[in-house]
């Protein structure tokens, strides 16, 4: 069982490497993650690489018996790269002006950006290939699409459409573009995503953004594998779980192990269900144990308006919560609090005084416990009988056509907004409260036969093959709990011209032709509406 923190010696305001390592060793930490945030130190000038600043840190960790996960620092570009090639910044949807200064603001498809990123990655991995202290590589950091709509992104999307649909006639039919006379009569006339109203276009664009992220991380994983030592693993730290522009299930195929950064509420807002949801989801990507690469050490937030230090025992509770979901590592973000920049209030194990404190003592207690019980907890296997079917397409499809809004003020109703992922979380929360473990399954899974119960929340977008797979599961004795909107549209986000729930009608045993929104919750106990 690995237990540690992200460590940034380069951020320290004065020399304290030896002191930090001694404190880590005394606390019982076994791993640090480093290097993923400072491209400008690895390559201070175009083509000039520096390693001495990191080598001394790796050497110090090695002497202390602390392992290192090294990150590729590609999520925050250096100033010299921006000034030489400002075109690498991501153009936001709608065409707003782009500026340097924020992290994660680049076009990950840009050939120019890719050239400089691959050169850096090759140099780094080759440099640490034979260093036994470096046990693995984190590729990029909490990668997203950054909603880029640069010209190269649109050209790539157009090529994707040509490959998928073949002709604009087929595209027009699939998306129903004759509505409002928006047929595309030639690929050169394809409109950009900025202002389109087509639900088919919106869905396919969301898929393209996911494909971009998958392609980028698969590309990085391939580069690392080309130069790494064979026993160095490759992982990515997903930003928690479930995002509209990141298909974690597709990405996980290119990783050796999945990682996640689950932050959580503290004090009276600590929520075990929310933490378990992330673990259940990440574990399900590969049906494999996973790594927690970041989680709360103390307070979190990009300003001081959300500072709630954990109660005594909550740090330790968080660790065992993650382990109970299948985590083989828990790391904090981060070891010591940063004295300047955007995240000064995202505090580490050590505060800004760099002295051992209440959290340090709790971390130390937990670390020494894990030295005793960790060997029995590592690679713990979980066999659940219930699964939730997660559909990123349905989430994006329903974002284009929401099933709940704040109603007009004139209605004087206080119905809360809701969305697809909120529904998923509701189901998971109920299972958690009932002490029923669950996995997540995905449309790409070959079947669902290993589970006794399959929960299908608002499967709004689905092709016939997926609906047939669910029907077959029912015919073979499986039990499905299915909600509204399931089976409503096909894979192109077009409403099926069959009585709802479409191909699921036989398996569900019911059909309907109308539906209504509700102004208030309705009871189901006792059959008050005599539905039978």
Residue 356 CA from chain centroid, whole number: 32
**The two three-digit tokens of residue 520, written as one number:** 């208030």
On whether both 101 and 194 belong to a single domain, the answer is no
On whether both 410 and 492 belong to a single domain, the answer is yes
Q: Are strands 31-34 and 386-389 parallel, antiparallel or unpaired?
A: unpaired
On whether both 424 and 487 belong to a single domain, the answer is yes
> Cα separation of 375 and 145, whole Å?
38
Is the backbone peptide bond immediately before 501 cis, with ω within 30 degrees of 0?
Answer: yes
pLDDT 10s digits, 125-134: 999 999 999 9
pLDDT 10s digits, 186-207: 999 999 988 888 999 999 999 9
pLDDT of residue 519: 77
Residues of the chain with pLDDT > 70, as a percent, come to: 97
DSSP conformation letters of 193-257 = GGG---HHHHHHHHHHHHHHHHHHHHHHHHHHHHHS-TT-EEEEEESSS-BTTB-HHHHHTT-SE
Closest to 318 (Cα-Cα) out of 256, 252, 370:
370
Q: What is the mean pLDDT of residues 412-440?
A: 84
pLDDT 10s digits, 97-117: 788 888 889 999 999 999 999
Q: What 3-state class would DSSP assign to 376?
A: helix
Residue 469 maps to a domain: yes
Q: What is the mean pLDDT of residues 421-444?
A: 96
**Which ranges of 350-391 would DSSP assign to H, the alpha helix?**
358-377
Residue 356 maps to a domain: no
Residue 65 maps to a domain: no
Whether 410 shows a pLDDT value over 60: the answer reads no
pLDDT of residue 417: 54
Q: What is the mean pLDDT of residues 297-305?
A: 90
Q: What is the mean pLDDT of residues 389-417?
A: 73
Edge to edge, what strands does the sheet with 438-441 contain?
A: 438-441, 386-389, 453-456, 479-482
Q: Is 324 exposed, middle or buried (0-12, 13-18, 19+ CB in 10 A)?
A: middle
Residue 389 makes CB contacts below 8 A (sequence gap 6+) with 440, 441, 442, 443, 448, 454, 455, 456, 457, 459, 470
Specify whether the CB–CB gap between 220 and 74 falls below 8 A.
Answer: yes
pLDDT of residue 532: 64
On whether both 93 and 167 belong to a single domain, the answer is no
Of the residues 233, 248, 265, which one is the last residue of a structural domain? 233
pLDDT of residue 406: 60
Q: What is the mean pLDDT of residues 365-388?
A: 97
Whether 361 shows a pLDDT value over 70: the answer reads yes
On whether both 390 and 504 belong to a single domain, the answer is yes
pLDDT 10s digits, 461-495: 999 999 999 999 999 999 999 999 999 999 999 99
Neighbours of 70 (CB within 10 A): 26
On whether both 393 and 497 belong to a single domain, the answer is yes
Q: What is the overall mean pLDDT for the chain?
A: 94
Specify whether the CB–CB gap between 278 and 308 falls below 8 A.
Answer: no
At 95, the pLDDT band (50, 70, 90 cuts) reads confident
> Cα separation of 96 and 80, whole Å?
23
Whether 529 shows a pLDDT value over 80: the answer reads no
User: Which residue reads 């996640």 in tokens?
Assistant: 260
> Cα separation of 288 and 274, whole Å?
20
Of the residues 184, 215, 233, which one is the last residue of a structural domain? 233
Element (H, E) at 351: none
On whether both 415 and 501 belong to a single domain, the answer is yes
CATH of the domain at 456: 3.40.50.880
> Cα separation of 428 and 281, whole Å?
10
On whether both 86 and 197 belong to a single domain, the answer is no
Q: Are strands 2-6 and 327-332 parallel, antiparallel or unpaired?
A: parallel
> Cα separation of 222 and 373, whole Å?
36
> Cα separation of 295 and 198, whole Å?
39
The DSSP call for residue 408 is: P
On whether both 88 and 168 belong to a single domain, the answer is no
pLDDT of residue 394: 98
Residue 147 makes CB contacts below 8 A (sequence gap 6+) with 90, 92, 93, 209, 245
Residue 496 maps to a domain: yes
Is the backbone peptide bond immediately before 408 cis, with ω within 30 degrees of 0?
Answer: no
pLDDT of residue 413: 40
Gap between the terminal Cα atoms of the chain: 53
More confident position, 467 or 530: 467
On whether both 103 and 208 belong to a single domain, the answer is no
On whether both 397 and 504 belong to a single domain, the answer is yes
| Total structural domains within the chain | 3
Residue 476 maps to a domain: yes
Residue 105 makes CB contacts below 8 A (sequence gap 6+) with 89, 90, 98, 99, 146
**The two three-digit tokens of residue 460, written as one number:** 């709004």
pLDDT of residue 412: 40
Residue 130 maps to a domain: no
Whether 229 shows a pLDDT value over 90: the answer reads yes
Q: How many CA atoms lie within 13 A of 430 on its CB side?
A: 9
Q: Are strands 386-389 and 438-441 parallel, antiparallel or unpaired?
A: parallel
pLDDT 10s digits, 140-190: 999 999 989 999 999 999 999 999 999 999 999 999 999 999 999 999 999
- Write 373-379 long-range contacts (CB < 8 A, 24+): 374/1, 374/3, 375/1, 377/1, 377/323, 378/1, 378/289, 378/328, 379/289, 379/328
The boundaries of the domain holding residue 103 are: 45-54+76-107
- The answer for 101, left when phi > 0, alpha when psi is -120 to 50, beta otherwise, is left
Of the residues 199, 233, 267, which one is the last residue of a structural domain? 233
**The two three-digit tokens of residue 447, written as one number:** 């079947």
Q: What is the mean pLDDT of residues 221-238?
A: 98
Rg over CA atoms, the chain: 25
| Torsion from C-alpha of 321, 325, 331, 337, nearest 10 degrees | -40
pLDDT of residue 101: 82
> Cα separation of 203 and 164, whole Å?
14
Neighbours of 381 (CB within 10 A): 8
pLDDT of residue 409: 47
Residue 70 maps to a domain: no
pLDDT of residue 93: 84
Residue 288 maps to a domain: no
């Amino acid at each position: 069982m690995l237990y540690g923190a992200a460590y940034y010696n380069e951020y320290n305001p004065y020399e304290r490497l030896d002191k930090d390592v001694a404190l880590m060793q005394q606390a019982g930490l076994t791993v640090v993650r480093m290097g993923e945030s400072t491209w400008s130190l690895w390559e201070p000038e175009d083509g000039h690489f520096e390693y001495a600043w990191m080598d001394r840190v790796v050497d110090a960790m090695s002497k202390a018996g602390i392992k290192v996960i090294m990150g590729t620092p590609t999520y925050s570009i250096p100033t010299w790269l921006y000034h030489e090639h400002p075109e690498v910044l991501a153009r936001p949807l709608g065409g707003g002006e782009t500026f340097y200064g924020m992290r994660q603001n680049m076009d990950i498809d840009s050939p120019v950006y890719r050239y400089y990123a691959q050169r850096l990655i090759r140099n780094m991995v080759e440099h640490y290939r034979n260093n036994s202290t470096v046990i693995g590589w984190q590729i990029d950091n909490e990668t997203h699409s950054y909603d880029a709509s640069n010209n190269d992104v649109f050209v790539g999307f157009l090529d994707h459409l040509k490959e998928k649909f073949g002709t604009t006639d087929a595209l027009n039919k699939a998306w129903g573009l004759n509505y409002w006379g928006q047929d595309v009569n030639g690929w050169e006339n394809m409109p950009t995503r900025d202002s389109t109203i087509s639900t088919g276009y919106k869905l396919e664009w969301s898929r393209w953004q996911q494909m971009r992220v998958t392609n980028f991380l698969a590309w990085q994983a391939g580069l690392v594998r080309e130069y790494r030592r064979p026993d160095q693993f490759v992982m990515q730290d997903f930003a928690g779980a479930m995002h509209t522009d990141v298909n974690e299930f597709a990405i996980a195929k290119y990783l050796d192990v999945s990682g996640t950064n689950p932050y959580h509420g503290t004090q009276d807002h600590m929520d075990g269900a929310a933490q378990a949801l992330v673990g259940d989801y990440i574990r399900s990507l590969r049906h494999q144990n996973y790594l927690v690469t970041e989680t709360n050490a103390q307070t979190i937030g990009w300003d001081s308006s959300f500072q709630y230090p954990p109660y005594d025992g909550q740090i330790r509770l968080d660790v065992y919560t993650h382990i109970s979901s299948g985590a083989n590592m828990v790391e904090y973000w981060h070891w010591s609090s940063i004295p300047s920049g955007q995240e000064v209030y995202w505090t580490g194990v050590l505060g800004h005084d760099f002295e051992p404190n209440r959290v340090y003592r709790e971390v130390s207690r937990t670390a020494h416990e894990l030295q005793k019980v960790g060997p029995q907890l590592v690679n713990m296997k979980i066999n659940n009988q219930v699964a939730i079917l997660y559909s990123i397409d349905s989430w994006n499809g329903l974002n284009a056509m929401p099933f709940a809004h704040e109603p007009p003020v004139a209605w004087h109703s206080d119905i809360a907004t809701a969305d697809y992922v909120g529904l998923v979380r509701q189901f998971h929360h109920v299972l958690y409260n009932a002490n029923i473990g669950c996995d997540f399954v995905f449309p790409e899974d070959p079947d669902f036969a290993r589970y006794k119960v399959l929960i299908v929340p608002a499967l709004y977008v689905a092709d016939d093959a997926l609906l047939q797979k669910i029907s077959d599961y029912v015919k073979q004795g499986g039990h499905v709990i299915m909600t509204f909107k399931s089976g409503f549209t096909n894979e192109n986000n077009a409403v099926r011209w069959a009585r709802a729930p479409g191909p699921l009608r036989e398996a569900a045993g019911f059909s309907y032709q109308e539906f209504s929104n509700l102004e208030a919750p309705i009871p189901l106990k006792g059959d008050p509406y005599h539905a039978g």
